[in-house]
Amino acid sequence: NIVRGRNTVLINTWETDFKSLPDARRINDKASIISFFKCLPNNSQEVFIVCDELATLMQDKEIAKEINNACMFARHYKAHIIGITPRVLANEVQCKALFPARITGRLLQESDYRTALGISINVNLGMREFIIIQDKVEVFRSENNRKYIDT
């Protein structure tokens, strides 16, 4: 777990979510979420920010504005923002291009992959497989088997 033992903030999560991160700070109400992102430029230590249900958060214009600003300058603030969403509609998470890595599991249509990942791919994912895009496109299985695909 990349964030275990690190300064982690969980945004918009249930108490039963992320049980492996018992020391993580949880922020769930709108005012506190906005305040947290506005104060991010004052951050002096590395922080991992996990935004659960990112598409739902982005429906609120004030929260969306602060998340977009944070994504644009996250590396300068020593912040790593991890967005989680099961929905892949193009208009719901407009800041996705600002994420240096994107991951998705199996989706129904090729157009869903294009929306979620920002590129077209021609691959049929199996059970427990997912695609990660960072410097290159990779397909992983939950058993840590790796293969590279051409885009």
Which pLDDT belongs to residue 65?
93
Between CA 7 and CA 36 the distance in angstroms is 14
Q: Tens digits of per-residue pLDDT, 53-93? A: 888 898 899 999 999 899 888 888 888 888 887 766 666 66
Strand order in the sheet with 137-141: 102-104, 129-133, 137-141, 146-148
Helix extents (H) in the chain: 30-39, 54-57, 61-73, 110-117
Q: How many residues does the chain have?
A: 151
How far apart CA 77 and CA 20 sit, in angstroms, is 25
When the pLDDT of each residue in the chain is averaged and rounded to a whole number, the result is 80
pLDDT higher than threshold 50 for residue 11: yes
User: Phi and psi at residue 75, in whole multiples of 5°?
Assistant: -65, -30
What is d(CA 108, CA 81) in angstroms, rounded to the nearest whole number?
26
pTM of the model: 0.76
Q: Write down the pLDDT at residue 43.
A: 77
At 35, give phi and psi (nearest 5°).
Answer: -60, -45
- What is the Cα–Cα distance from 33 to 10, expressed in whole angstroms? 10
Q: Given a cut of 50, is residue 150 above it in pLDDT?
A: no
Higher pLDDT, 98 or 3: 98
Q: Which residues of 31-61 are buried (b: 16+ CB within 10 A; e: fewer)?
A: eebbebbeebeebeeebbbbbbbbbebbeee
What burial class does residue 131 get, using C-beta atoms within 10 Å of its C-beta: 0-12 exposed, 13-18 middle, 19+ buried? buried
